[in-house]
Structure 1
């Protein structure tokens, strides 16, 4: 790891590996490996702890089409319902556009974000903490089943509504049965008819658990 001269003001802008792991929705060890591979730049405190440069993290995020680090957004005004966030992890631009069109027509108050691959999806999940997650089973980098298995280790994932989307038929889906069991799934040829009622049911469950999202 390259030695980096830092001023006291600079140091306040940098992050611990745990803070970066929380921001990216990854394990601390995964962030440490990113530093070892040179994907993130870091320096060590006198006590030997790593501090990751904010500029390095921002460059990594923007290089993947993600928003750089920023202060937390202001909370909504008292009495104003929050907007539900949804994240679609799907590598097909066609299906991204189709889901976005359906969401705009049926759920105009839903903030829908998209990621093109599994790794970017994990990072965006950590950043957004969406209430609804839509995941394609087959993704570049990490398949949807492995991605969901990874997310299950995060306590905050327990409150997320999950919907799988796939072009695979029932036989082709059998290798992923361990991750799909008991979860809603939309076959892509039936996306237009089957996704809206599943989203509506997910929204209702969230509103029942979290009144701040009720209109």
Structure 2
């Protein structure tokens, strides 16, 4: 790991968290927090024993959305009437639905959405059957769905939705832990649908969601 992203001078004890503390605060795995440090999203230093200590103010900035916007994010607020609140759905909110059975990735996606797009209405479902029912009830504008789900897998769910009028206006993003070479059995449902691999979720999902919001804003 590159050490130039880590501070060389230790911070006072009251000004830092351990990696485990940050993981618990954000509802993430410890490895996810370590990767955030490696990418420079959190400011940290190492103890003589090699343990990371993460600056409290950098955690707060990350939670408050202080990171510079990814490509495409800045243009959404300008394009959407009302300072980033698209005139769509209940009370002017864009509606997003996440169908994901991993609590870790539910927490991670929820955190990313609330930081980058705080005015959207985000709902979650833990399996394909519950997600399909909620999609019919909630009528989302944006659907994020994992491929490997209990009940009904994500590909079967998408194939079913393609025959529904809802799909014509639905913005879809597939989230998966599968490698590109493992997607062949699901290609029948992935035509024209962007795929985000979970190891790249933090960097790739926000710009894709920004594009979705841009498309929705242009329809208003």
When the two structures are superposed, what TM-score results if normalisation uses the length of structure 2?
0.58
CA shift, 1:179, in A, is 0.9
- Equivalent of 1:188 in 194, 198, 204: 198
CA shift, 1:182, in A, is 2.1
Q: Cα deviation per residue 1:94-140 (whole Å; 9 max; x = unaligned)?
A: 00000000001100011110000000000000010000000000000
Confirm or deny that 1:147 pairs with 2:157. Answer: yes
Confirm or deny that 1:110 pairs with 2:103. Answer: no
Note the 1:86-165 alignment, pairs <5 A.
Answer: 86-165=96-175
CA shift, 1:91, in A, is 0.2
Q: What secondary structure, in the 3-state scheme, does the structure 1 residue paired with 2:182 have?
A: coil
Q: What secondary structure, in the 3-state scheme, does the structure 1 residue paired with 2:181 have?
A: coil
- Equivalent of 2:176 in 151, 162, 166: 166
CA shift, 1:85, in A, is 0.4
| Partners of 1:148 and 1:130 in 2: CA distance | 14
| Aligned-CA RMSD value | 1.1
| Partners of 2:105 and 2:150 in 1: CA distance | 15
Unaligned runs of 5+ in 1: 1-79
| Partners of 1:156 and 1:91 in 2: CA distance | 23
Confirm or deny that 1:84 pairs with 2:94. Answer: yes
Q: What secondary structure, in the 3-state scheme, does the structure 2 residue paired with 1:171 have?
A: helix
Q: Is the 8 A contact 2:159 2:188 kept in 1?
A: no
Q: Cα deviation per residue 1:9-52 (whole Å; 9 max; x = unaligned)?
A: xxxxxxxxxxxxxxxxxxxxxxxxxxxxxxxxxxxxxxxxxxxx
CA shift, 1:195, in A, is 0.1
Q: What secondary structure, in the 3-state scheme, does the structure 1 residue paired with 2:110 have?
A: helix
Tell me the matched-pair count: 131
When the two structures are superposed, what TM-score results if normalisation uses the length of structure 1?
0.60
| Partners of 1:104 and 1:143 in 2: CA distance | 26
Q: What secondary structure, in the 3-state scheme, does the structure 1 residue paired with 2:96 have?
A: strand
| Partners of 2:142 and 2:199 in 1: CA distance | 21
CA shift, 1:181, in A, is 2.2
